[in-house]
């Protein structure tokens, strides 16, 4: 029998106690966490000689998630996974996170416990400690905020600014699966695509992304020059890397790794989903040609496919551009852009 009480029934401090208990014991008190949940602030001692890597993210109801599309445990998994993905892109090791919940007060206790079970499962999987956080009232919508901290490896990190002309542009995994999953969720229940054998895999890619922590470590070790995670789509994120590095790029549409399921269920939209769909949480990176074989081999060793999708080229003294080689061999410049929360 679940806990049918609402947040307003037990109050802020009763909820804090229950949520802490919902986390695995090793997540509440990680090895490097000197002082965790229960005090005014947490105390964490990073490994001597390493740098601290910090990221933060927010998920707001009806903007980043919908309750009719996701269950609470999956939401807990995703809210931490998308932060870990930022650490992974820099080659960092995830260590500590703090959580802020903005609640209306009518949320079921059982749902919030499920949220923390999902969050705690991801934290345990990646060796993170949940060091506490805050709970506030948010009358308009449920809002979830995470700040995550990681450590550099050997004092080094990958950034967006390291790409150089001649580098190979690579991605891990596939592109467009998450966006295809979101489209499937938006379809009517009687749409035959919702009943396709591959539909659940695409929906899972959207609801429960897996951050590429081990892949990020490989990129750092094997000589990648620049990296970032793909949250805003290839054509939203690649231009950020190009601008930071002062270079341009050529992409080859024929080499984009798009799952057969995406192509089959969305034959007229698969390329757009791959380029602009967003929320893949794969790693986009560049590497010199002599580093590429080692990256591919090491990625294969952890079951991740790395695909070369283009090349970094000089910007020729003008603004950053992305040229696409189409499936028919023709070339044209692509418009760039990412999701903007405040666009009309």
- In this model, does residue 340 exceed pLDDT 60? no
> What pTM did the predictor assign?
0.92
Residue 12 buriedness (CB in 10 A; 0-12 / 13-18 / 19+): middle
Lookup: tokens for 273:
């989903």
CA 193 to mean position of chain CA atoms: 26
Q: How many helices (H) and strands (E) does the chain have?
A: 11, 13
Residues sharing a CB contact under 8 Å with residue 186, sequence separation 6 or more, in sequence order: none
The pLDDT score that the predictor gives to residue 337 is 59
20/35 Cα distance (integer angstroms): 14
Q: Where in the chain is the domain with CATH 3.90.650.10?
A: 160-333
Give yes or no for a contact between 133 and 96, defined as CB atoms under 8 angstroms apart.
Answer: no
Q: Does domain 7-151 have CATH number 3.30.1330.10?
A: yes
Residue 225 buriedness (CB in 10 A; 0-12 / 13-18 / 19+): buried
The CATH class for the domain spanning 160-333 reads: alpha beta
DSSP annotation of 334 = P
- pLDDT (tens digit, 9 = 90+) per residue, 230-255? 999 999 999 999 999 999 999 999 99
Query: What is the pLDDT of the chain when averaged over all its residues?
Result: 92
The pLDDT score that the predictor gives to residue 341 is 52
Residue 198 buriedness (CB in 10 A; 0-12 / 13-18 / 19+): middle
Residues 38-65, mean pLDDT to the nearest whole number: 91
Lookup: tokens for 324:
């696409």
CA dihedral 125, 127, 133, 136 (to 10 degrees): -10
Residues sharing a CB contact under 8 Å with residue 189, sequence separation 6 or more, in sequence order: none
The pLDDT score that the predictor gives to residue 10 is 85
Lookup: tokens for 186:
């938006």
The pLDDT score that the predictor gives to residue 28 is 82
Q: Where in the chain is the domain with CATH 3.30.1330.10?
A: 7-151
């Amino acid at each position: 029998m679940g806990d049918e009480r609402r947040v307003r029934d037990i109050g802020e401090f009763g909820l804090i106690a229950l949520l802490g208990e919902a986390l695995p014991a090793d997540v509440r008190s990680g090895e490097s966490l000197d002082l965790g949940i229960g005090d005014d602030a947490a105390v964490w001692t990073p490994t001597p000689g390493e740098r601290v890597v910090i990221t933060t993210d927010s998920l707001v109801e009806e903007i980043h998630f919908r309750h009719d599309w996701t269950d609470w445990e999956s939401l807990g998994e995703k809210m931490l996974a998308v932060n870990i993905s930022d650490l992974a892109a820099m080659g960092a090791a995830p260590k500590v996170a703090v959580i802020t919940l903005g609640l209306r007060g009518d949320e079921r206790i059982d749902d919030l416990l499920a949220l923390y079970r999902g969050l705690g499962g991801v934290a345990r999987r990646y060796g993170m400690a949940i060091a506490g956080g805050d709970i506030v009232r948010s009358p308009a919508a449920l809002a979830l905020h995470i700040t995550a901290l990681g450590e550099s490896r050997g004092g080094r990190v990958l950034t967006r600014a390291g790409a150089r002309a001649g580098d190979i542009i690579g991605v891990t995994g596939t592109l467009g699966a998450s966006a295809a999953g979101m489209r499937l969720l938006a379809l009517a229940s009687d749409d035959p695509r919702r009943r396709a054998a591959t539909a659940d895999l695409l929906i899972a890619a959207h609801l429960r992304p897996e951050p590429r922590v081990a892949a990020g470590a490989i990129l750092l070790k094997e000589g990648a020059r620049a990296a970032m995670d793909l949250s805003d789509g290839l054509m939203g994120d690649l231009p950020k890397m190009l601008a930071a590095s002062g270079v341009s790029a050529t992409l080859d549409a024929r080499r984009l790794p798009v799952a057969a399921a995406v192509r089959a269920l969305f034959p007229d939209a698969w390329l757009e989903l791959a380029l602009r769909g967003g929320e893949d949480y794969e790693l986009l990176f560049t590497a010199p040609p002599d580093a590429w074989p080692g990256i591919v081999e090491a990625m294969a060793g952890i079951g991740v496919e790395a695909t070369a999708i283009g090349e970094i080229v000089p910007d020729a003294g003008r603004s950053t551009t992305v040229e696409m080689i189409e499936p028919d061999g023709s070339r044209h410049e692509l418009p760039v852009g990412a999701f903007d929360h405040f666009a009309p």
